[in-house]
Amino acid sequence: MSVQTPQEKELAELIIDCLNLEDVTAEEIDPEEPLFGDGLGLDSIDALEMALAISQKYGVQLRSEDEHVKETFSTLRSLNQFILDNSPAQTA
């Protein structure tokens, strides 16, 4: 298992909270493992809920029409990197 950064752990906690995942802890989410399908097992409805929570917390807009959205949501690490790259605090 890859080691989470502090930002990835915070994002994992947000995912667990917004999706009410009761059988997993933030520390158990491998930042390199898939979030969907065989990985964490999330689905498209979960992606919508995560996008809303991320938008509210980090001010980052995730758009379904973006050609890179699947790549962005593929792992905890890629999602965290997208937030870091697009956060208003980073671009200001």
Q: What is the CATH number of the domain that holds 86?
A: 1.10.1200.10
Predicted local confidence at residue 89, as pLDDT? 67
CB 87 within 8 A of CB 11: no
Predicted local confidence at residue 34, as pLDDT? 94
Total domains present in the chain: 1
Question: pTM for the complete prediction?
Answer: 0.88
Residue with tokens 């991320």: 54
For residue 58, the enclosing domain spans 6-91
d(CA 42, CA 81): 19
Query: In this structure, is residue 30 part of a structural domain?
Result: yes
Render pLDDT for 42-69 as a digit per residue (tens, 0 to 9).
Answer: 998 999 999 999 999 999 988 777 788 8
Cβ burial 12-29 (10 Å sphere, 16+ → b, else e): bebbbebbebeeeebeeb
